[in-house]
Amino acid sequence: MRILVTGGAGFIGSHVVDALLAAGHDVRVLDALLPAVHRAPPQVSADVEFHAGDVRDAAAVAAALRGVDAVSHQAAMVGLGLDLDDAPAYVGCNDLGTAVLLAEMARANIGRLVLAGSMVVYGEGRYTCGEHGLVVPGPRPEADLSAGHYEPRCPGCAGDLTPGQIAEEAAPDPRNVYAATKLAQEHLAAAWARTVGGTATSLRYHNVYGPRMPRDTPYSGVASVFRSALEAGVAPRVYEDGGQRRDFIHVADVAAANVAALGRAAVGMRAYNVGTGRPRTVGQMAGALAAARGGPEPVVTGQFRLGDVRHITASPARIERELGWRAHVDFEAGMTEFANAGLR
């Protein structure tokens, strides 16, 4: 197939391009090369047709879609988006950009989309209470966080909760601007699929890390922030008590999930968790990076950010069952590679 990868010069997008080429596909890239993300010149394979352009530009999108069979939509503004001053930029990049892309795909009669989704659509993860069973805790009160009480409480009895792995059937509960835009992207894709009879697959990435990750910017993930600190000889600063549980997945596994998703044949929208199913804490991740890099040990600060969630880990059962994909990169090996890999 000939596949357009939007954002194909970026961190995840460039790995998706590599995986598609290795699988024998013809690949075209559309990327706006925004300076907030691309601080170094992008490395685009000579085997790829590159189009410089923004997904919000209908003419640029239409030109990039000519002769294409499917789209892997990786272009997005990422980060927490905690400040509402950022809302117009996030909505413009993520939701308007997706709407323009889908409209042009409909005009070009292209019926296959793989969307870079995110686990942030869930808000807090899956929790059970000994008295009330499965519950959905609300946002953690600032007073609790200030007092060092980081675990969410049961909304029924204010008791302790046990975190578990969340499945795709969980109701979305976006807790910040970025999360809201990622959920809106899924709704737009679902509407497009119903309207044109297309196949839309959202891959809800969990915490992606690996080579080519952007350096410490407002739009980089926590793994990149820690890795950048270690490169500068500075101890990683871990928020809260470091006990936040996440599912850290190597970018090579994420790229392989994109290749697998292109083979999905069913019409309509379907979402999949892309995670390892083997959660770690943020403190463990910081410690693994520091040990592999030979840098200073992490410092647990007790600081917090309103809008952050405590635990969010994935059940990858659906994607393993339906698409035959599973993560292969071992956590320790992946972190050792990442600790010594170059950043962009």
Active site residues: 178
Strands (E), the chain: 2-6, 26-31, 49-52, 70-73, 112-118, 126-129, 133-135, 161-166, 199-205, 207-209, 237-238, 245-246, 248-250, 268-274, 280-281, 299-300, 311-314
Alpha-carbon span 111 to 22, nearest angstrom: 23
Alpha-carbon span 201 to 194, nearest angstrom: 13
Alpha-carbon span 236 to 102, nearest angstrom: 40
Alpha-carbon span 272 to 253, nearest angstrom: 14
CB of 61 closer than 8 Å to CB of 52: no
Instruction: Identify which of 50, 38, 54, 65 has the alpha carbon closest to the alpha carbon of residue 92.
Output: 54
Alpha-carbon span 190 to 234, nearest angstrom: 44
220 DSSP 8-state letter: S
Q: Which long-range contacts (CB under 8 A, 24 or more apart) does 336-339 make?
A: 336/288, 336/292, 337/210, 337/211, 338/209, 338/210, 338/211, 338/213, 338/223, 338/227, 338/250, 338/289, 338/292, 339/227, 339/230, 339/288, 339/289, 339/292, 339/293
Name the β-bridge partners of 199: 112, 268
Angle between helices 97-107 and 177-196 (to 10 degrees): 10
Token pair 């980089």 is found at 220
